[in-house]
Amino acid sequence: MNLLEDLQFRGLINQITDEEGLNKLLEDEKINLYCGFDPTANSLHIGHLLPILMLRRFQLAGHHPIALVGGATGMIGDPSGKKAERTLNSTDTVANWSNQIKSQLSRFLNFEAKENPAQLVNNYDWIGKLDLITFLRDIGKNFGLNYMLAKETVQSRIESGISFTEFSYVILQSIDFLKLYEEKNVRLQIGGSDQWGNITAGLELIRKSKENAKAFGLTIPLVTKADGTKFGKTEGGAIWLDPEKTTPYEFYQFWINTDDRDVVKYLKYFTFLSREEIEQLEQETKEAPEKRAAQKALGEEVTKLVHGEEALKQAMKITEALFSGNIKELTGAEIVQGFKDVPSYEHRTKEEIGLIDLLVAAKISPSKRQAREDISNGAIYINGDRVTDLQYILSEKDRIEDQFTIIRRGKKKYYLIKY
């Protein structure tokens, strides 16, 4: 398969301005293409992962990807997909977030490749220098008001309200496409499905500004979940690419808990497994869904891609320890990951303490009477081992790396004791 055929197989093409023309261009030459990422937080999340991996797919096919960090557009706010105005962030905040996003993008794109190195650009470098008169005369004159009002992102906000600031966002992003077309011969912009209006506006500006210019736009489908819930969200919030915000263990868990109805689609979207490998996993899911072979492959591939081999091994080790109950095998760092969101209690001394007293102090059991019942009934586990001794005393031997004790009450209720 050529590149576009592979993208079609994976379901990664939502809209394309001229499929035949783009296909011919990609066969005839290696092109420059770009995708923009606005710094709206100090980390990208898995909603950004699909366009990042699209750039990677183009690079692996020999093309030249450019990742644009929206240092300028990030200060304005994209109205796409938003029901209300975004909160405007300070110049310093956006600049700081831009630098962090640049660092994250370098994990996915090869900026050292000899033949087709990826590039990073920041649109603040040109939009930040643009004066108002030049903006209105040279750029604004190319956009009719009716054309702007017809954009879906604007129409969806007419009733609830849209400021001139966000109304002008589409024009600012159009400047990016024109600038990169002129200076770096960029022929293709890619983005999420909500970026179609912004991409086509950029194509319109190029058409009006450059005689006989030919550029293309391609959008990626919105990632959905079969159960109707929002992709990339959990009870704990968004799934971030920053391991400090979402640990590799949490990240891995997100993927291996994928619904059977979604897992093949996500294998196509988010992994670089071959068509044959994906079809084999699809067959295994149909024949033996309880083995969750596709989910395990998905979790391993994406976690390794985002966080690396060692982080994947840690995530799998934590998962196995929790499944088997063999908590003692975990290191302190792995405990911090695996028990990040469980209730915790800080025991301020390392002196020995009776189990009953600790259960009450840590609010694991509501009273000494209930604590005795829990222990007698075999409901209390220390670091994976069941304890039924009412006189049990916790000491140094019960502390993992002299920092943590994991207590489990019942089948699934974990508590983290910190020292």
pLDDT in tens, 342-361: 999 999 888 999 999 999 99
Do 96 and 175 lie in one domain? The reply is yes
The kind and range of the H/E element at 37 are strand 32-37
Look at residue 337 and tell me if it is in a domain: no
- Do 62 and 33 contact (CB within 8 A), yes or no? no
Do 22 and 133 lie in one domain? The reply is yes
Question: What is the set of active-site residues?
Answer: 40, 45, 48, 82, 86, 173, 194, 230, 233-234
Do 67 and 198 lie in one domain? The reply is yes
Quick one: pLDDT at residue 17? Answer: 95
Q: Which residue ranges are tagged as binding site?
A: 34, 169, 173, 233
Quick one: pLDDT at residue 86? Answer: 56
Residue 48 gets which letter from DSSP? H
Do 27 and 147 lie in one domain? The reply is yes
Quick one: pLDDT at residue 317? Answer: 94
Do 52 and 22 lie in one domain? The reply is yes
Q: Which residue ranges are tagged as binding site for L-tyrosine?
A: 34, 169, 173
Look at residue 332 and tell me if it is in a domain: no
CA distances to 1, 2, 267, 276, 412 from 9, in Å: 9, 11, 12, 12, 41
Block residue for tokens 């004159």:
141
Do 286 and 378 lie in one domain? The reply is no
Do 187 and 160 lie in one domain? The reply is yes
Instruction: List the domain range (segments joined by +) for residue 180.
Output: 3-220
Which segments within 123-223 are labelled E, that is strand? 186-192, 216-220
The domain tally of the chain equals 3
Do 294 and 364 lie in one domain? The reply is no
Nearest CA to 98 out of 68, 69, 73, 57 is that of 69
Do 314 and 371 lie in one domain? The reply is no
Domain boundary among 324, 354, 377: 324
CATH classification of the domain holding 260: 1.10.240.10
CATH classification of the domain holding 382: 3.10.290.10
Nearest CA to 268 out of 33, 62, 54 is that of 54
pTM comes to 0.84
Mind listing the pLDDT tens digit for each residue in 262-305? 999 999 999 999 999 999 999 999 999 999 999 999 999 999 99
The residues of the chain scoring below 50 in pLDDT are none
